[in-house]
Structure 1
Amino acid sequence: MRRPIACWPRWWHQVAKHRRPPRTHQVRGTLLLGSGATSLAVGLTAVFSPSLSVASDDQAVTPTIVTASLPTVEAPIVEQAREEPEPQAPAVPPPPPESGEGRRVVFDQGDQRVWLIEADGTVTATYLVSGSRFDNLDPGSYAVRARYRHATSFDNSGTMEYFVEFTTGWSEPIGFHSIPVDNAGNLEQSVDELGRPLSAGCIRQKPEDAAFLWDWAPLGTPVVVTA
């Protein structure tokens, strides 16, 4: 069976021929549009692209150095450690004004203190002692008249060292010596108790002070006792 073929009048073909745009026009329009787009793209590129200048070989390129100012940072203040004042030795009390002159040993009963004084008035040593708890030593001037490296108490209750005798009490010698030690080997008083009248007549001293006075005061050394 034959396929039907549409038949059109001749005049329709003529009209269609005039209405259909030629192919060359379509291609040309496309080319023109493409050319216009290219021109537009080139124009936009020229407008929005930054201009670049290229230095020639003869021109030196100077680098631009950008400096930035850093913020000022203050160094922390370090407080120096305060120097603590060195502890000062306690002031040496002067001897009593009525204690005489020259090189001498001074014993003040009121302060329970001894001074060893040089001929020029310099105090070589001063320290607390324990004198008699009885009123058996009169104020006045004496002199060292005997020395005993080891001695025994009058009632044989103990011993003492570095005995320096300068007078006699009611019946027994009176002098400077170390704190007595009883027969059991105990001190009759503590070192901390020096400065209080606790003896039976003599002047008690620390062992090192008693040894120092023993070496410092030979026979004949003046001894002044004040109230």
Structure 2
Amino acid sequence: MARSSSGFVAGLTAAAVAAVCFLAYQASANAPADLSVKPPASGRTTPSVSPSGGPKQPAKDPLAVPAGSGTGERVVYALSDRRVWLVDAKGKATRTFKVWPSTVDPLPGAYTVGSRSGSVRGSDGVQIEHVVRFATAQDVAVGFSAAVDGSTPSPDPSKKTGGIRMKRADGDAMWTFAVIGAKVVVVS
């Protein structure tokens, strides 16, 4: 008797697991690609209003490549957003990420990668890797890098430094993408 009841329980368990898997598959097949997008409401719509009373502006898509950043394959660095986009030849961002700039910013404009270093000590004394230099501003070299220890320290405001720090994984992607001569576009 014990043998038949354990087989029965195993059969019920297998059937329950199969049913859950089937329902999960159906749910995922019908889920929207972006769950943050709300479906349009049927009927009349009421315009959104901002706290100031004016029409609410749509949220800015952080993945969208900034307008006016040129065409073709390039690195785009937005000063005000503290964000970088790696853009392919078709103008599509293949990767975007936040960065932590230092005290000296390059002026908006187009630059090219002029030098790279695999591993050096940063001007703040931190060991950095995948240094991609593309500009000089206020007699300071400006470039992207990642701290080997993963830190993103706040720059000393009394020192003129041009490091633009990023996470190590983003630094790896930048190193692969931004070879000597690659275009870097800085926007405000």
Partners of 2:126 and 2:147 within 8 A in 1: no
Partners of 1:159 and 1:180 within 8 A in 2: yes
**Unaligned 5+ residue runs, structure 1?**
1-79, 190-197
Aligned residues: percent identity? 31
Matched, 1:96 2:60: no
Partners of 1:180 and 1:188 within 8 A in 2: no
Any idea what the Cα deviations from partners look like across 1:9-57, whole Å, max 9, x if unmatched?
xxxxxxxxxxxxxxxxxxxxxxxxxxxxxxxxxxxxxxxxxxxxxxxxx
Partners of 1:178 and 1:205 within 8 A in 2: yes
Count of residues in correspondence between the two structures: 134
- Residue 98 of structure 2 aligns with which residue? 128
- Residue 180 of structure 2 aligns with which residue? 219
- Residue 147 of structure 2 aligns with which residue? 179
- Residue 140 of structure 1 aligns with which residue? 109
Any idea what the Cα deviations from partners look like across 1:141-181, whole Å, max 9, x if unmatched?
100000100011235x2210100000123233210110365
CA deviation after TM superposition for structure 1 residue 135, in Å: 5.1
CA deviation after TM superposition for structure 1 residue 125, in Å: 0.8
Distance 1:171 1:95, change over 3 A: same
Task: Choose from 118, 121, 136 the match for 1:149.
Answer: 118
Task: Choose from 76, 79, 91 the match for 1:109.
Answer: 79
Partners of 1:154 and 1:172 within 8 A in 2: no
Partners of 1:102 and 1:119 within 8 A in 2: yes
Distance 1:120 1:87, change over 3 A: closer
The letter of the residue matching 2:83 is R
Partners of 2:63 and 2:93 within 8 A in 1: no
Matched, 1:170 2:143: no
- Residue 160 of structure 1 aligns with which residue? 128
CA distance in 2, matches of 1:87, 1:178: 32
CA deviation after TM superposition for structure 1 residue 188, in Å: 4.3
CA deviation after TM superposition for structure 1 residue 187, in Å: 2.5
CA distance in 2, matches of 1:140, 1:210: 22
CA distance in 2, matches of 1:171, 1:140: 17
Q: TM-score, normalised by structure 2?
A: 0.62
The letter of the residue matching 2:118 is R
Please give the secondary structure, in 1, of the residue aligned with 2:185: strand
Root-mean-square deviation (CA, aligned residues, Å) is: 2.7
After TM superposition, the structure 1 = structure 2 runs for residues 55-70 of structure 1, keeping only pairs within 5 Å, are none
**Unaligned 5+ residue runs, structure 2?**
1-21, 37-60, 156-160
The letter of the residue matching 2:116 is R
